[in-house]
Amino acid sequence: MSAIRHAAALYARLFTWLERHGDQWLLGFLARFAFAAVLLGYFHSSAKTKLGDGLAGLFSISPGAYYQIALPAVEAAGGDLDKVVFLPWGLMVVLGTYAELLLPLLIVIGLCSRLAAIGMIGFICVQSLVDITVHQIGAEAVGALFDRFPDAVIADQRLLWLVPLAVIALKGPGLVSLDALIARGRAVPQT
């Protein structure tokens, strides 16, 4: 019985050490790395389809953005974007476009990470709702949780997208981030 107690104590010490040290820097860093590796390119490519051309295009929303985000309003206006009511539709298009462009960058560099992660969680939920209700994707793309098929766009993929964002929102970006660097700078006494 002594060997079992010794093994259990060793196990507890090992994973307590891993949790204490990994919690400080590794968990947030891995969550941000996974987000960058899997989703940064996706969100930036999508945001670029909603912006104008060239550097000046960063400051103009393309007509395609309205078709992607606010299709019901565009259809109600007969396709005339000048007749699309700014509140709420135009505001939703502008905020959605710039959120899709800026929030992923903030997460990856670790600046205002928790707020950016919460923003991206909201963005993904709205994106999923728009895909289901406006673009009317089929049931096979929506999928179902707890089934044997792990490849549905909404139920499976987007749930996995939310996990690293939840880690960042709850645990922070880790020590390898601009948030941590700024916090360390504030902790240093000025002379």
Q: State the pLDDT at residue 84.
A: 84
Range 74-83 average pLDDT: 87
Domain spans, the chain: 2-187
Torsion, Cα of 98, 115, 107, 174 (10° steps): 170
- Please give the DSSP secondary-structure letter assigned to residue 22: I
Say yes or no to pLDDT of 149 above 90. no
Say yes or no to pLDDT of 190 above 80. no
pLDDT band at residue 49 using 50, 70 and 90 as cut-offs? very high
pLDDT band at residue 160 using 50, 70 and 90 as cut-offs? very high
Q: State the pLDDT at residue 85.
A: 79
Q: State the pLDDT at residue 25.
A: 81
Q: Report the C-alpha gap between 17 and 31 in whole angstroms.
A: 20
Q: What percent of the chain has a predicted confidence (pLDDT) above 70?
A: 97
pLDDT in tens, 6-41: 999 999 999 999 888 888 788 999 999 999 999 999
With 0-12 / 13-18 / 19 or more C-beta atoms within 10 angstroms meaning exposed / middle / buried, residue 40 is middle
pLDDT band at residue 117 using 50, 70 and 90 as cut-offs? very high
Q: Which of 11, 24, 6 is nearest to 172 (CA)?
A: 24
pLDDT in tens, 53-67: 888 888 999 998 998
Helix axes 113-133, 159-171, angle to 10 degrees: 160
